[in-house]
Amino acid sequence: MTKSRLQYLSHDYDRHGNLRTYVRLPGKPKIRIKEVFEDENGCITEEFMAAYRLAVSGNTPATAKPIKKVERSFN
Protein backbone atom coordinates (compact mmCIF):
# COMPACT_ATOMS: atom_id res chain seq x y z
CA MET A 1 0.00 0.00 0.00
CA THR A 2 1.35 3.42 -0.91
CA LYS A 3 0.72 6.81 0.67
CA SER A 4 -1.56 9.22 -1.13
CA ARG A 5 -1.90 12.95 -1.45
CA LEU A 6 -5.59 12.84 -0.48
CA GLN A 7 -7.08 12.05 2.92
CA TYR A 8 -8.79 8.63 3.35
CA LEU A 9 -7.32 7.39 0.05
CA SER A 10 -5.30 4.18 -0.23
CA HIS A 11 -3.72 2.48 -3.20
CA ASP A 12 -2.70 -1.13 -3.65
CA TYR A 13 -1.82 -3.43 -6.51
CA ASP A 14 -3.69 -6.59 -7.44
CA ARG A 15 -1.94 -9.83 -8.37
CA HIS A 16 -1.68 -8.69 -11.99
CA GLY A 17 0.08 -5.43 -11.10
CA ASN A 18 -2.92 -3.16 -11.70
CA LEU A 19 -3.33 -0.19 -9.36
CA ARG A 20 -6.54 -0.16 -7.29
CA THR A 21 -7.70 2.92 -5.41
CA TYR A 22 -9.99 2.92 -2.37
CA VAL A 23 -11.54 5.45 -0.01
CA ARG A 24 -11.35 4.17 3.57
CA LEU A 25 -13.46 6.20 5.99
CA PRO A 26 -13.12 5.31 9.69
CA GLY A 27 -15.76 2.79 10.77
CA LYS A 28 -17.11 2.23 7.24
CA PRO A 29 -16.33 -0.31 4.53
CA LYS A 30 -13.84 0.74 1.88
CA ILE A 31 -15.18 2.06 -1.43
CA ARG A 32 -13.35 1.35 -4.67
CA ILE A 33 -12.91 4.18 -7.18
CA LYS A 34 -12.52 2.87 -10.72
CA GLU A 35 -11.77 6.16 -12.48
CA VAL A 36 -8.21 6.91 -13.61
CA PHE A 37 -6.25 8.54 -10.76
CA GLU A 38 -3.61 10.54 -12.69
CA ASP A 39 -3.22 11.65 -16.28
CA GLU A 40 0.05 11.52 -18.25
CA ASN A 41 1.22 14.80 -16.65
CA GLY A 42 0.82 13.45 -13.09
CA CYS A 43 -2.25 15.57 -12.32
CA ILE A 44 -5.31 14.07 -10.62
CA THR A 45 -8.18 13.78 -13.13
CA GLU A 46 -11.51 15.59 -12.75
CA GLU A 47 -13.46 12.32 -13.07
CA PHE A 48 -11.49 10.84 -10.20
CA MET A 49 -12.03 13.89 -7.99
CA ALA A 50 -15.79 13.78 -8.64
CA ALA A 51 -15.92 10.11 -7.62
CA TYR A 52 -13.66 10.80 -4.61
CA ARG A 53 -15.88 13.63 -3.36
CA LEU A 54 -18.95 11.43 -3.75
CA ALA A 55 -17.31 8.59 -1.79
CA VAL A 56 -16.08 10.86 1.02
CA SER A 57 -19.49 12.49 1.39
CA GLY A 58 -21.07 9.07 1.94
CA ASN A 59 -23.63 9.41 -0.86
CA THR A 60 -22.51 6.33 -2.78
CA PRO A 61 -25.12 3.73 -3.67
CA ALA A 62 -25.08 0.48 -1.72
CA THR A 63 -23.13 -2.16 -3.62
CA ALA A 64 -23.72 -5.07 -1.26
CA LYS A 65 -24.95 -8.22 -2.92
CA PRO A 66 -28.37 -9.41 -1.78
CA ILE A 67 -28.37 -12.61 0.23
CA LYS A 68 -29.92 -15.42 -1.74
CA LYS A 69 -32.10 -17.86 0.20
CA VAL A 70 -31.01 -21.45 -0.32
CA GLU A 71 -33.53 -24.22 0.12
CA ARG A 72 -32.73 -26.90 2.70
CA SER A 73 -29.80 -25.11 4.32
CA PHE A 74 -29.05 -24.55 7.98
CA ASN A 75 -29.43 -20.77 7.66
Task: State residue 17's pLDDT score.
Answer: 92
DSSP state letters, 55-74: HHHT-PPP-PPPPPP-TT--
- Tens of pLDDT, residue by residue over 23-50, are 998 888 888 999 988 889 988 899 999 9
Task: State residue 49's pLDDT score.
Answer: 92
Task: State residue 61's pLDDT score.
Answer: 61
8 A C-beta contact, residue 22 and residue 33: yes
Task: State residue 70's pLDDT score.
Answer: 72
Model confidence, pTM: 0.68
